[in-house]
Structure 1
Amino acid sequence: MNNERVPRPWTAICQLDDIVPNTGVCALVNGEQVAVFHVNDGNANAAVYAIENYDPGSQAAVLSRGLIGSLGERVVVASPIYKHHFDLRTGECLESPSYSVGAFDTRVEDGHVWVAV
């Protein structure tokens, strides 16, 4: 059994400055809606996360519009409809793991946000 991770192509989404800190945007990548979040702790420590935008609980593409926060050590987004919390690193739904979504690799290079979908 081969456990090697299949490399995914990187897609430029936007400038990091185009995403207001501690909010998300939705990008269409290869026909798939991706929620991209710019998380900043106020000390110039910015991180970018990307998960699927579709919320299985509400059956709506709304996760990019959710509220960012933390639960313990986890950085999460709360779905704007039923308030399920999704871990931005893994896509895991904390209230109902069966509602978990995919998470994607991200990077910021020369001020551009890139996502591997």
Structure 2
Amino acid sequence: MSPSFSPVCTVDQILPNTGVAALVKGRHVAVFRIGDDRFHAIDNVDPRSGASVLARGLVGNLGERVVVASPLYKNHFDLSTGECLEAPEQSVRAHAVQVQDGRVYVALD
């Protein structure tokens, strides 16, 4: 495993189709578990409000895209890319995720 990956939590600490918030190297990150074995990470700060809330958003699909809806302004963020579908200029960063030995790791690179 690359040294740039930081441990966040165990797999079991994220219920399927929900997210958790984590602080990774000083950055607020939202880590999502889709189904039993797919994981995504994006910045947790909603760019429109400045609040760290994206991990609390509703996870779903818009067409083929897996998204989270911000709990404040309902903008949809693609979990693979961080793109804000309604306002691309408000997109967030997506981060690499690895699962190893039942633990979830996130890299900010």
Q: TM-score range by the shorter chain?
A: over 0.9
State the partner residue of 2:8: 13
TM, length-normalised to structure 2:
0.94
State the partner residue of 2:107: 116
Residue 78, structure 1, aligned to residue 69, structure 2 = yes
Q: For 1:8 and 1:72, how far apart are their aligned partners in 2?
A: 36
State the partner residue of 1:105: 96
Tell me the number of residue pairs that the alignment of Structure 1 and Structure 2 aligns. Answer: 107
Runs of 4+ in 1 over 4 A off after TM superposition: none
Q: Deviations for 1:56-97, whole angstroms, at most 9, x for unmatched residues?
A: 112211000000000011000000001000000000000000
What value does the CA root-mean-square deviation take over the aligned residues? 1.2
Q: Deviations for 1:8-61, whole angstroms, at most 9, x for unmatched residues?
A: 700011110111111100000111110000110xxx5x2000000010112211
Correspondence for 1:56 among 37, 47, 63: 47
| Aligned AA (2:82) | G
Q: For 2:102 and 2:50, how far apart are their aligned partners in 1?
A: 33
Unaligned 5+ segments in structure 1 are 1-6
Q: For 1:24 and 1:8, how far apart are their aligned partners in 2?
A: 24
Cα 1:72–1:60 shift into 2, 3 Å: same
State the partner residue of 2:21: 26
SS in 2 for 1:38: strand
| Aligned AA (2:47) | P
